[in-house]
A = this chain, B = another copy of it.
Amino acid sequence: MDTPHERRSARRGRKAESPLLKHPFQLLENPLSPLTLLDASQVELLHDASMQILEKTGIVFMDVEALDLWEQAGAKVDRSAQLVKIDRGLLLALVARAPARFTWRARNPARCVPVGGKSVTFAPIGGMAYAASLETGRRPGTMADYEAFIKLAHVCNVLHFNGNEMVAPQDVNPSVRHLHRLYKAILLTDKALIEAAHGRIISQDVLNMIEMVFGGLQGDPVVGGIINASSPLRYDQRMSGGLINFARHGQVVVVTPFILAGAMAPLTVAAALAQQNAEALAGIALTQLVQPGAPVIYGGFTTNVDMKSGSPAFGTPEGAWALTVGAQLARRYHLPYRGSGSLNTAKIPDAQAAYETMWTMWPAVLACTNFIFQSMGWLDGGLTASYEKFVLDAEMAAMFYHFLAGFEINEETLALDMIALVGPGGHHFDTPHTQAHYSTAFFETSLADRQGYETWVAQGSQDAYQRANRVWKDLLTSYEAPELDPGIEQGLREYVEKRGRELAGKNLYD
């Protein structure tokens, strides 16, 4: 496979590379029984509660076309309130149209990604206002930051996806930001792409540009976007429009209610999950009203507010419950599941950042989350894209690849002859078995320091934050742009320029 590592290996004289760069692009499956917290009857309690919510309280779609579609389908629509009440029979029939799995295509055919089933995939962060590094601390994101994160996501093969607003290029006018963002992403990576599906204008630009790259939008999807319910129980104009446009063109909609228990939902996790389920299924059903069979992912992003500060809390036991049970609910409806990977509220990549992330990534992987969004670089409740945190999270993902691959048990690996040869009280440092296997035996770390204390002190007493700083710079140095047909690139550039003139200064959500 044409990995950056293999291409780079042809060059000479480079210093030892981060093991992250040796990791080949590969698909990942979780062969274990998924982590489950609820039994089937408890899942049905949540299911029934969510059905009651949609039947009795209803849900708002702030979009005329969405209301038309629901009315034609037979739902009870209150036009003045933009409120839709949906019977469970109608709802479940629509949800049943959605595929249980699909392939998300990349412009490099070797990097297409299966979504659903046992597949586990890692996807980048999205929506960060700030960028942060050890040297600069937190500062407003720029186009240079955005490009750097796209490059990092490209060279890190543990990530299956790329694109999206990993950090907002605040030095680019908001009315044309999406154009420049996607243009750069198409140039800088050949991985499967995520981009904003917000509103009809932006989503159409995305579809137009992506169509130029792939020569059409038929067949398996080639781009996807996150659609958040504006919880509680509401899809605003922007989200409804984007959802409809992406679904109509057969592109991936990741329907994700954003719920903080105690703010956008009651503060019990049971209620928050029942509401999440109602919102997610209503959005998913709408994709199937627009386009039966459209690829869609059930997203969970439920956690709690911190009752002391009023701020969102991430990487909590409650968040781990919601993430795990969200997977159970998605499986209940035979839908691919989106969770998150690197959530935390720490301000720097310290012990808190690491443990809160582990309280997210462990349940995400073990619950067999098919699309682990926000998996690399998240800091400070999602406000900040951190270069060093990206390295930490990539290391965690690499460890999960290794963990899930398991180990072989056979005559060669049991090595009973070596155990007999060395015998009681000996050591295995230099047996033929050790010599034969030692270079590939164990997971190779890019970040952990396992030297003796004195050596560590002699080398400057660096913590993981400082070491990660060296790693991301090394990763960036190794970046090489994938090839792109010059005609396509020119067409994209002209499109961005033309639309840039048309949209300059406009509010894209009018």
Contacts and interface: CB of A to CB of B under 8 A. Distances in A.
Interface of A: 32-33, 35-38, 42, 45-46, 49, 52-53, 56-60, 83, 138, 230, 232-234, 261-271, 274-275, 304, 306-309, 311-313, 315-318, 320-321, 345-359, 362, 366, 380-381, 383-384, 392, 395-396, 399-400, 402-403, 406-410, 413-416, 418-420, 422-429, 431, 433-434, 437-439, 441-445, 447-453, 456-457, 461, 463-465, 468
B345 A448 contact: yes
Nearest to A418: B266
A490 B408 CA distance: 58
In order of increasing CB-CB distance, the 3 nearest A-B pairs are A358-B358, A354-B354, A351-B354
Contacts of A418: 266, 271
Nearest to A347: B456
Nearest to A381: B450
A357 B354 CA distance: 10
A269 B146 CA distance: 41
Contact of A425 (B33, B232, B318, B402): B232
A110 to B, nearest CB: 25
Nearest to A306: B450
A271 B463 contact: no
Given A266-B431, A441-B267, A414 B464 contact: no
A501 to B, nearest CB: 36
A366 B35 contact: yes
A453 B317 contact: no
B57 A423 contact: yes
Nearest to A307: B438
B407 A321 contact: yes
Contacts of A261: 441-442
A422 B271 CA distance: 13
Copies in the complex: 2
A118 to B, nearest CB: 15
A138 B441 contact: no
Contacts of A457: 347
B311 A413 contact: no
Nearest to A463: B350
A268 B359 contact: no
The winner among A138, A263, A414 for most chain B CB atoms within 10 A is: A414
Contacts of A456: 347
A390 to B, nearest CB: 12
Contacts of A453: 138, 347, 380, 383-384
Given A138-B453, A321-B407, A442 B267 contact: yes
Given A350-B350, A448-B345, A464-B352, A442 B232 contact: no
Contacts of A427: 232, 263-264
Given A42-B409, A450-B312, A234 B464 contact: no
Given A304-B441, A441-B262, A434 B351 contact: no
A64 B12 CA distance: 62
Contacts of A355: 354-355, 357-358, 392, 395-396
B433 A267 contact: yes
A382 B395 CA distance: 23
A392 B351 contact: yes
A30 to B, nearest CB: 12
A58 to B, nearest CB: 7
Nearest to A229: B424
A409 B395 CA distance: 37
A262 B438 contact: yes
Contacts of A56: 416, 420
A503 to B, nearest CB: 29
Nearest to A361: B358
Nearest to A31: B37
A155 B493 CA distance: 65
